[in-house]
Structure 1
Amino acid sequence: MTTTTPKDKTPGTELVPVKFSRLTRRGILLGLSLAQLIALGIAGTTLTSMLYAGGGNLILLSTPIWLPAALAAWIPVAGRPAIEWVPVAGWWAWRATGHQLIYRRRILTPRPSGSLALPGDAARLREYVDPVTGAVMIHDPTEHTLTVVCEVTHPAFILLDPAEQQRRVISWGRVLATICRSGRIAMLQVLERTLPASGTGLADWWATHGNDDGSWPSSIYAELIERAGPAAQRHATTVSLSLDLRAAARQIRTAGGGIRGAAAILRQEMNTLTAALRSADLSPTAWLDSGAIAVILRSAYDPAIAPALERHGQLGRSLATAGPVAVNESWSRIRTDSTYHAVLWVSEWPRAHVHPEFLAPVLLSTDIQRSFALLCTPMRADQAARHVRKKKTEHLSDAAQRARIGQIEDAAQTAEYADVLAQEADLTAGHGLLRYTGLISITATNPDELDAAVAAVEQAAIQASCETRRLVGQQARAFTAAALPLARRV
């Protein structure tokens, strides 16, 4: 694609549109997924066996086996073949049978020292306070990761002029390239949250800069701040850096081994990321300690308490009590303490060229309490090259197979192959390869308000040229990934 620069503009003063790679739907063989191939294999094997065993009567008697398998492979349910819902429904039934959909904190039973008071599989997380930086590092012994969190402040991107926006986009690209070159990063999570403001920010500003001289304009302004402050919303952004302990095993042994050696390696990555963020004109704060992370976790599970925690800085700053008191998970939502949540997955990013501020309708939606998590999973250069070569070979093999049987090549397959070629060109030019996952957690006080908020966010996503889908059957696990800064996977 070529671009032209207007005569009255100079290069670099206009935002350059970008395009996302399509979500591959190529499947394993002729566009069929593994589940579809298994179902069709069961149906074909049953029919062939019955045909050789006795013919018509046995085929008729085996209809309850091969017919449901064939139908499940082809009939779509909510945009996916019915057979692909079997693992989700099976896992949901298993958890329901084992009473794993309900969580209640055991107040009289103390938790193990250093563990996080979180439900589900997040209960295995452990905290480690780094003696050098004072930051708390979250250790996942199952996923073999060590995660640290920092809060980032930045000006409103949408209010900047196009030249400044383009400069910041390029700088953010360098940040992502930095984590790709490391080879030891498991994930970078960017979490943007909206929280009910306590009003202390406006009140403090008025106390410092206001002119409270007792006049009528002064009293009206003070009254407006007093009334509007608690009803306002504030935005908070955090960046979570997760170290892959298996990829950094050799360096960890060199640094002394164990969790202390891993912390030393993570500190190196923290310094590199901090420098990269500052070069991108972002303002990272100090890496968060256990008290700050405890407040974030408590506010995510019970947002109504967030203003009180902000007003009283010493409350709720213990990770041992930061989790929810009660959790009820249903098929399409989750209830924690006093609020309801639903998690949407950005299943399709814009297919056409868009400008970097395309998510503004979602991120700037008013009167909706939500969290937007962008999970960036980097691939090492050698892994990325093998991945691209494999995808390219599979596309060419499938194209040859389709040509052999007379199947027509459609536009979607051509576009996916073009994306693979573009990724190969980017890798050759020295760029990194990342996998993006977008999750949106929406919060409301009752189910009706939650459904209305979900509908509003889905409409905002349509305006942003994105497609969203509600993650059913896995809302509890999705909530920990979408609303908590722990760099968790779904």
Structure 2
Amino acid sequence: MKFSRLTRRGILLGLSLPQLITLAVAVLSVVGALYAGGGILLAYTAPIWLACAVLTWVPAGGRKLIEWVPVTFRWAWRVTGGHLIYRRRVVKPRPAGTLALPGDAAALREYVDPETEAAMIHDPHQHTLTAVIGLSHPAFVLLDPGEQERRVTAWGRVLATTCRSGRIARLQVLERTLPDSGTGLAEWWDAHGDADGSWAATTYQELIERAGPAGERHATTLSLALDMKTAARQIRTAGGGLRGAAAVLRQEMTTLLAALRAADLTARAWLTPGEVAVILRSAYDPAIAATLERHGDLGRDLATAGPVAVTETWDQLRSDSAHHAVLWISEWPRSLVYPGFLAPVLLSTGIHRSFSLICTPIRSDQAARDIRKKKTEYISDAAQRQKIGQIEDAGQTAEYHDVLQQEADLTAGHGILRYTGLINISAPSTDELEAAVSAVEQAAIQASCETRRLVGQQAAAFTVAALPLARTV
């Protein structure tokens, strides 16, 4: 399998809109100075056009300096407004039906579907309604290559189903590592063990009690987000409001379940509000995850599932019992790789992390228009570069071939999706967090991926990378 390259084309000659603006300011200042006052006025305006030139061409952290300007201004606005610190008001309860989450996620609302008893999360800002389902599957890396290829093809049909619907805003696959509470081993011993009081039985039982909580397990969820704007007509037909949106989402849930069964994925029941609350609480407070699993009645209220305190810094996030850092997969493999190429990242041991893959489906007609537009832009840029004598870049040629491949896949009946990969790493202290981040970065290199640490937006990125809410950053 092979991924398309991240498009780095600009509006004109590879320059983005901010670069074109600063370049235009520099050119206008130079031309105006030459016409108005000659060399003396050109010297006076030197700070303006020199600063514009530096902002346009000098890179920093993988971006041009002008692209850091909006990020810096937004960060300064959040610092002065006190938006980096969240403290829960213990004596003031949350309004009924809301989620106790910090930041813009505080606007999320809970709706319980009366037919499936599933927890549906309504996002009034992004106009989506999201349902979450748990998945179980065999170890993919242990399957033979033929079976792996068959399962990849079946998963492709699942994604194509979401593209044909036209009402799905996003599909999120969230894979988390959780501390094992040891309940599985204890239940196995109770069912199959022989507690006869012998030395062997006593030693074995003590070993289970010690080794169980020290292990870890993997949990996978799939979040389906309905675009309420696109499905507005169907929602009105179903009665309008959240009840009508829930009826439309149930139809998509049924279609997705059928596609998952055809792909040999074992789908459990749609998560209830209590189960979603445990996931949210465990993400912000990893130290309590094992306790919540052992005691099934604790922490199963969405109104109290959020964190008690959150402090955001430029490149980290501190919540109740852990420090967090979010990495963005900025480059997927550029060469052909096996389907299990992410195994070094997903199977890394001793690291508490969550991997989130956000799939944004594009309707077939819209995807065809986008592909035609990209082809026209590539051909126009190539003609413009040829006129000015600029050498053709191999990366630009490869991007054009990726567009042609997408067109061929779309013609063959496949779906076109935009992928966003985020990795959240959690640790009890800052030093352990940095060590874990370094280990995950090295694992990503082994997986032929390039990762970048998100800065100035760790809080928003955490809600995407660690929570099954199908949001975007």
TM-score, scaled to structure 2:
0.99
Taking the aligned partners of 1:370 and 1:227, their CA distance within structure 2 comes to: 23
Structure 1 CA distance for aligned equivalents of residues 423 and 249 of structure 2: 28
User: Does residue 66 of structure 2 align to residue 78 of structure 1?
Assistant: no
State the distance in 1 between where 2:372 and 2:222 align.
32
After TM superposition, give the deviation of residue 109 of structure 1 in Å: 1.9
* Aligned match of 1:469: 452
Tell me the residue number matched to 1:352: 335
- Counterpart of 2:157 (choices 133, 156, 174) is 174
Tell me which amino acid in the other structure corresponds to 1:108: V
- 1:97 and 1:43 mapped to 2: Cα distance? 31
Match of 1:116?
99
Aligned partner of 1:324 among 301, 307, 329: 307
Structure 2 residue matching 1:375: 3-state secondary structure: strand
Alignment of 1:218-229 (within 5 A): 218-229=201-212
Measure the CA separation in 2 of the matches of 1:254 and 1:427.
Answer: 31
1:7 is aligned to: none
In structure 1, what is the equivalent of residue 192 of structure 2? 209
CA distance in 2 between counterparts of 1:421 and 1:164 reads 29
In the alignment, structure 1 residue 29 sits paired with structure 2 residue 12: yes
Match of 2:214 in 1: 231
% identical equivalent positions? 73
Q: Deviating runs (4+, > 6 A) in structure 1?
A: none
- Residues 423-456 of structure 1, C-alpha deviations (whole Å, 9 max, x = no match): 0111111111000000000000111100000000
Question: What code does the residue aligned with 1:33 have?
Answer: S
Question: What's the counterpart of residue 51 of structure 2?
Answer: 68
Q: In the alignment, what sits opposite 2:415? A: 432
Check 1:72–1:379 CA distance in 2 against 1; reply closer, same or farther (3 A cut).
Answer: same
Paired residue secondary structure (1:344)? strand
Secondary structure of the residue aligned to 1:134 is coil
Cα RMSD for the two superposed structures: 0.9
Distance 1:198 1:409 in 2: 57
Using the size of structure 1 for normalisation, the TM-score is 0.95
Residue from 213, 228, 241 that aligns with 2:224? 241
2:34: which partner in 1? Answer: 51
What CA deviation, in whole Å up to 9, does each residue of 1:61-114 have, x standing for no partner?
A: 122221111111111101211111111111001100101000001112222221
Structure 2 equivalent of residue 282 of structure 1: 265
Q: Say whether residues 1:383 and 2:366 are aligned partners.
A: yes
Q: Does 1:293 align with 2:276?
A: yes
Greater shift after overlay, 230-239 or 58-67?
A: 58-67
Structure 1 residues without counterparts, runs of 5 or longer: 1-17
Structure-2 separation of matches of 1:393 and 1:213 = 78
Would the aligned equivalents of 2:156 and 2:414 in 1 still touch at CA under 8 Å? no
Question: Within 2, Cα distance between the matches of 1:109 and 1:56?
Answer: 67
Q: Could you say what secondary structure the match of 2:121 adopts?
A: strand
**Selected match of 2:168 from 185, 198, 217:** 185
CA-CA distance at 1:247 after TM superposition: 0.7
Separation in structure 2 between the aligned mates of residue 175 and residue 215 of structure 1, nearest angstrom: 53
Distance 2:403 2:378 in 1: 9
Alignment of 1:132-211 (within 5 A): 132-211=115-194
Whole-angstrom distance in 1 between the partners of 2:42 and 2:354: 54
Distance in 2 separating the partners of 1:293 and 1:338: 19
Give the 3-state SS of the residue equivalent to 2:341 in structure 1.
coil
Q: Does structure 1 conserve the Cα–Cα contact (< 8 Å) formed by 2:292 and 2:298?
A: yes
Q: Deviations over 1:228-261 (max 9, x none)?
A: 1010011100000000001111111111111111
Cα distance in 2, alignment partners of residues 62 and 96 from structure 1:
33
SS at match of 2:133: strand
- Aligned residue pairs, count: 473
Q: Does 1:423 align with 2:411?
A: no
Which of 276, 286, 289 is the equivalent residue of 1:306?
289
